[in-house]
Amino acid sequence: MKFPRWLLWFLFFLFLLWLIWFIAPSHKMVVIKSYVNWNVVLDPKITPAQRDSIVKLITDDVSNVSSAGPQPVNDSFSVTFGNDIFNTIDSAQRPKKLFLFRKRFRLINPSVHYCSCKDSLLWNLQADLEYDGSGGSVPVTSKPRGTTAQGGIVSLGNNDSINKPLSAGSIINPAGILSFPDGAAISKSGFISVIDTGIDTTKFEENIRGAVIPFGDHGSRNVIIDQNAGDYKDRNDVFHGTSVAAIILNEYRRQDANKQLPQLMIFKALDDSGRGDLFALCCAMRHSIDERASVINVSAGYYGPANDVLNYYLHMSMQNKIPVIAAAGNYMGEMNNPVCEESTNNQTLLGNSNLFYPACASADSVNYSVVAVTGLHKMDTPCYYQNYSNQYVTVGVVNEPDSNCCIFRLPYFRDGVALEGTSFATPVVSGRLGHALMNGLAPISYSDYIRPLIVNPHNAPPRLVTRFYIMN
């Protein structure tokens, strides 16, 4: 059977067009910001020169990743990072091209960030991915292999995002401030570290503002990458960090016979929207440990698996006998039921498929001194929108028991506005345990941190219940 010559020429022309498309590089290049976003902790035993060499080796290795393949550097462990990234991207890009024609990609804009001059062993590496986006799969985020003892690295993990657990909205009363009419002397026996959205001391009466340790080498600071270290003001819509600090001050003072207030060291690790990352959290923890905090309050976290770098600092805090008081997290869906709902919400039960860190590290009291906190509707019922568990949650806080509602009121919110969430139950525990530790408690085991939290149920609110059990 003969085909017309014009048809053969037409088919040949189509073939040429296809061949040009197949071979020619695509111009539709897409950039994924911070595709590589790793936290690394180096061995304290290495010298500054060794540190700089390791950072340069890994950064150069990552920078050389492209569709041409990673370029080996003169180091046996470093090149594995580049190979891992190359294989992850290449496996997603290859299916749409055949044989030797791979879709183009490369890592660009590498950047290195240190926690501070004080701790240059904790650092963050970021790089953007530029790739041919004309079809094919979007490469999944490249994650490091995890902890390795090679080449001076003691811990390595992805820089996952963290958030303040969701809380109810609010409207501010400009005239309202936190005040204690009968005085507010500041105790100098220790301090509580508050890792959050910062603080706005204009919401406090002037004589209370002295409780905040000011910015300096040994004071409060902003630990967010590329932000001014001296700017730790809270600009969050519900003054999340300010409210956490206010509850700590109030609870500490309630426990103190002399009505004193604790000192607070403020670490702004969450931005104004309440978002942050593990690098900022770990950096704040390292500062807190170095300055010998009595308690570290973390009213934030993330859903997902444990992180090696975070665990490294949680373990360091335990070794230094500094408990980490962490919010158990809240329901992430729509809040259609009333805050004061009396039933139990099974979707907020923490378990192997629903973990919230750092709170869930409380299950391992051998390696960590984490106290996980949630709110209780009443003595045996969790708040409807707050996470609970008889395995992962240590303490439940019952506030305003007369109305059986899971809310906290502060004077700088207008009438009728209150806060709800594990974020605000957590500082109740931090204030109470902080007072015990600053006034003679010398813990030997994890249970010693819990003992001061057990109170008579007839005491004034907030009441605390430890290791409460809920029927599943």
Let me know how many helices (H) and strands (E) the chain has, helices first.
8, 17
CB 261 within 8 A of CB 231: no
Q: What is the pLDDT of residue 470?
A: 32
CATH number at residue 306: 3.40.50.200
What confidence tens digit (pLDDT) does each residue in 383-398 have? 888 898 889 999 888 8
Q: CA 201 to CA 211: how far, in whole Å?
A: 10
> Does the residue 1 lie in any domain?
no
Q: CA 283 to CA 121: how far, in whole Å?
A: 10
Q: What is the pLDDT of residue 99?
A: 42
Q: What is the pLDDT of residue 200?
A: 95
- Kindly state whether residues 380 and 454 are assigned to the same domain: yes
Compute the 3-state secondary structure of the chain and give helix, strand, coil in percent, each to the nearest 5.
Answer: 30, 25, 45
Q: CA 303 to CA 313: how far, in whole Å?
A: 18
Confidence bin at 297 (pLDDT 50/70/90): very high
Worst-scoring range by mean pLDDT, 158-172, 276-290, 452-466?
452-466
Worst-scoring range by mean pLDDT, 14-18, 52-56, 297-301?
14-18
- Kindly state whether residues 203 and 65 are assigned to the same domain: no
> Does the residue 384 lie in any domain?
yes
Q: What is the pLDDT of residue 457?
A: 46
Which runs of E-coded beta strand occur in 146-213?
A: 153-158, 161-163, 186-196
Average pLDDT of span 238-251: 93
Q: What is the pLDDT of residue 240?
A: 93
Q: Which of 159, 174, 201 is the last residue of a domain?
A: 159
> Does the residue 172 lie in any domain?
no
286 vs 120, higher pLDDT: 286
Type of residue at 447: S
> Does the residue 17 lie in any domain?
no
Q: What is the pLDDT of residue 170?
A: 47
What confidence tens digit (pLDDT) does each residue in 436-450 have? 999 998 888 888 888
Q: What is the pLDDT of residue 463?
A: 52
156 vs 194, higher pLDDT: 194
Q: Is the pLDDT of residue 101 over 60?
A: no
Q: Which of 310, 385, 284, 380 is nearest to 340 (CA)?
A: 385
Q: What is the pLDDT of residue 145?
A: 59
Q: Is the pLDDT of residue 255 over 50?
A: yes
Find the domain containing 190 and state its range.
186-466
- Kindly state whether residues 250 and 359 are assigned to the same domain: yes
CB 332 within 8 A of CB 376: no
Q: What is the pLDDT of residue 468?
A: 37
Worst-scoring range by mean pLDDT, 27-36, 201-210, 219-228?
27-36
Q: What is the pLDDT of residue 148?
A: 44
Worst-scoring range by mean pLDDT, 159-163, 274-278, 372-376, 432-436?
159-163
What confidence tens digit (pLDDT) does each residue in 175-200 have? 678 888 777 889 989 999 999 999 99
- Kindly state whether residues 82 and 225 are assigned to the same domain: no
Mean pLDDT rounded to a whole number for the chain? 81
Query: CA torsion, points 318, 307, 287, 362, in degrees to nearest 10?
Result: -30
Beta bridge partners of 112: 125
Confidence bin at 472 (pLDDT 50/70/90): very low
> Does the residue 7 lie in any domain?
no
Maximum average pLDDT range among 32-46, 312-326, 328-342:
312-326
Q: What is the pLDDT of residue 79?
A: 53
> Does the residue 251 lie in any domain?
yes
* Residues near 114 by beta carbon (within 8 Å), at least 6 away in sequence: 120, 122, 123, 124
Q: What is the pLDDT of residue 231?
A: 96
- Kindly state whether residues 149 and 212 are assigned to the same domain: no
DSSP string, 451-464: GGG---TTSSSSEE
- Kindly state whether residues 226 and 124 are assigned to the same domain: no
- Kindly state whether residues 142 and 192 are assigned to the same domain: no
Q: Which of 281, 260, 259 is nearest to 270 (CA)?
A: 281
> Crossing angle, helix 48-63 and helix 78-93, to 10 degrees?
20
Q: What is the pLDDT of residue 3?
A: 66
Compute the residue count for the chain. Answer: 472
Q: What is the pLDDT of residue 118?
A: 59
- Kindly state whether residues 154 and 273 are assigned to the same domain: no
Q: CA 214 to CA 229: how far, in whole Å?
A: 12
HSE-CB at 139 with a 13 A cutoff on CA atoms is 32
What confidence tens digit (pLDDT) does each residue in 68-97 have? 766 665 555 555 667 777 777 777 665 544
Q: What is the pLDDT of residue 467?
A: 38
- Kindly state whether residues 148 and 205 are assigned to the same domain: no
Q: Is the pLDDT of residue 20 over 80?
A: no
Q: Is the pLDDT of residue 465 over 80?
A: no
Token representation of residue 403? 């109305």
Indicate left, alpha or beta for 265 from its phi (over 0: left) and psi (-120 to 50: alpha): beta
Q: CA 180 to CA 162: how far, in whole Å?
A: 33
Q: What is the pLDDT of residue 12?
A: 76
Average pLDDT of span 147-157: 62
Q: Which of 198, 201, 209 is nearest to 236 (CA)?
A: 198
Confidence bin at 264 (pLDDT 50/70/90): very high
Maximum average pLDDT range among 187-191, 321-325, 459-463:
321-325
- Kindly state whether residues 306 and 432 are assigned to the same domain: yes
- Kindly state whether residues 139 and 229 are assigned to the same domain: no
Helix locations, 181-265, DSSP H = 240-255
> Does the residue 16 lie in any domain?
no
> Does the residue 37 lie in any domain?
yes
Q: How many domains does the chain have?
A: 2
Q: Is the pLDDT of residue 18 over 70?
A: no
CB 107 within 8 A of CB 62: yes
Q: CA 281 to CA 162: how far, in whole Å?
A: 9
> Crossing angle, helix 308-319 and helix 278-290, to 10 degrees?
20
Q: Rg (Cα) of the chain, in Å, rounded? A: 26
- Kindly state whether residues 260 and 394 are assigned to the same domain: yes
Q: What is the pLDDT of residue 197?
A: 95
